[in-house]
């Protein structure tokens, strides 16, 4: 007998099976908890057996849930591979390269890349996928993007990465928090000011890099968790002199206006700028990598000690 189960139902089941908590599973998928509960109930109805035992003590898998969990994971993996193959086939037919870029790349470096690709008349168009901090490498490895550009993007699994150079990390803060005319920031002066930062799970390696930089400069920071971006709805903490941020120089220059200033650290701090792509990139990706290498050659020079 055929059983109708949708991918959304399988995603909901798989997320709850891993989290053993409907609220955390809903947050992971970016949907409301009643929605994920409804999807799981519909799948249980289609299966004809409960998949979870719910009690005051928590959520556990039933025997049926244990049996079906690896099968659901396999179906979802195959669906992801099918989607990646379909997107790749469509892009190949259109000669479109999809580029994933983190927030600190989008405002300044990415427009330079787009302009250079147009100027070189490569016959290639680029689609930009703006992703959150820490998601550049994942976008490439899941096939959502052909090429990724970001800072300290992590250790690759199925992808290849290359250092493009180093970018300076600067302090972005209200001018009232620093004495007038100082050339750089001594972080020890900010002991009572929280560091505005996105959640660690977004990019543990980047998060730890910034905290280690603070500690090595004599500051054990008070961390204020914002959203995945420093700009936007949480930026009022910076505007009101209630927090400071550590961000790449390009991003700092974009945001430093009005009451906000961008100053270097003492000693200076630099972060790797990296690119990622699949192990067997299409020719069009190789062309863009050549352009990207030309644009960032000065960063490689600046990155040498």
Q: CA-based angle 39:42:46, to the nearest 5?
A: 135
234-293 per-position pLDDT tens digit = 678 899 999 999 999 888 888 888 899 999 998 999 999 999 998 877 788 888 888 888
% of the chain beyond a pLDDT of 70: 92
59-111 per-position pLDDT tens digit = 999 999 999 999 999 999 999 899 888 877 766 665 788 899 988 888 778 88
Region 48-52 average pLDDT: 93
Q: Which neighbouring-strand residues pair with 57?
A: none
Q: What does the pLDDT read at residue 9? A: 93
Region 204-211 average pLDDT: 93
Q: What does the pLDDT read at residue 228? A: 53
Q: What is the overall mean pLDDT for the chain? A: 86
Q: What does the pLDDT read at residue 303? A: 42
Region 39-54 average pLDDT: 92
Task: Pick from 54-58, 91-95, 218-222 the range whose average pLDDT is largest.
Answer: 218-222
Q: Is the pLDDT of residue 119 over 90?
A: no
Region 107-127 average pLDDT: 84
Phi first, then psi: give them for residue 302, nearest 5 degrees.
-65, -25
Q: What does the pLDDT read at residue 201? A: 84
Under 8 Å between Cβ of 233 and 184: no
Region 132-156 average pLDDT: 90
Under 8 Å between Cβ of 50 and 37: no
30 is written with which tokens?
């970016």
Say whether the peptide bond before residue 14 is cis (omega within 30 degrees of 0): no
Those residues with Cβ within 8 angstroms of residue 140's Cβ, 6 or more apart along the chain or in another chain = 100, 146, 147, 148, 159, 276, 277, 278
pTM over 0.85: no
Q: Is the pLDDT of residue 1 over 60?
A: no
257 is written with which tokens?
């206006």
Q: What does the pLDDT read at residue 230? A: 59
pLDDT band at 21 (very low <50, low <70, confident <90, very high): very high
Residue ranges and CATH numbers for the domains of the chain are 7-89 (1.10.10.10), 92-165+272-302 (3.40.190.10), 167-271 (3.40.190.10)
Question: CA-to-CA distance for 139 and 52, rounded, in angstroms?
Answer: 31
Q: Is the pLDDT of residue 301 over 70?
A: no
Question: CA-to-CA distance for 253 and 261, rounded, in angstroms?
Answer: 8
Q: What does the pLDDT read at residue 90? A: 67
Question: CA-to-CA distance for 160 and 147, rounded, in angstroms?
Answer: 10
């Amino acid at each position: 007998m055929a059983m109708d189960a949708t991918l959304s139902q399988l995603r909901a089941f798989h997320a709850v099976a891993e989290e053993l908590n409907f609220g955390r599973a809903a947050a992971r998928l970016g949907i409301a908890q009643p929605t994920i509960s409804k999807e799981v109930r519909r799948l249980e109805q289609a299966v004809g057996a409960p998949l979870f035992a719910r009690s005051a003590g928590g959520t556990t898998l039933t025997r049926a849930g244990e049996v079906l969990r690896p099968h659901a994971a396999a179906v979802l993996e195959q669906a992801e591979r099918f989607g990646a193959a379909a997107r790749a086939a469509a892009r190949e037919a259109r000669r479109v390269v999809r580029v994933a870029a983190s927030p600190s790349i989008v405002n300044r470096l990415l427009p330079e890349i787009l302009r250079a690709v147009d100027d070189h008349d490569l016959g290639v168009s680029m689609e930009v996928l703006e992703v959150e901090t820490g998601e550049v490498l994942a976008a490439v490895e899941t096939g959502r993007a052909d090429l990724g550009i970001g800072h300290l993007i992590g250790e690759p699994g199925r992808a290849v990465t290359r250092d493009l150079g180093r970018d300076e990390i600067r302090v972005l803060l209200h001018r009232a928090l620093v004495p007038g005319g100082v050339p750089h920031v001594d972080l020890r002066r900010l002991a009572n000011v929280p560091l505005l930062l996105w959640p660690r799970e977004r990019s543990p390696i980047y998060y730890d890099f910034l905290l280690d930089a603070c500690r090595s400069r004599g500051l054990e920071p008070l961390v204020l968790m914002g959203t995945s971006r420093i700009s936007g709805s949480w930026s009022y903490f910076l505007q009101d002199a209630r927090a400071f941020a550590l961000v790449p120089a390009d991003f700092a220059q974009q945001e430093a206006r009005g009451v906000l200033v961008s100053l270097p650290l003492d000693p200076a701090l630099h972060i790797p700028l990296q690119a990622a792509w699949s192990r067997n990139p299409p020719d069009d990706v190789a062309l863009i990598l050549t352009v990207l290498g030309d644009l960032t050659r000065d960063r490689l020079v600046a990155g040498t000690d």
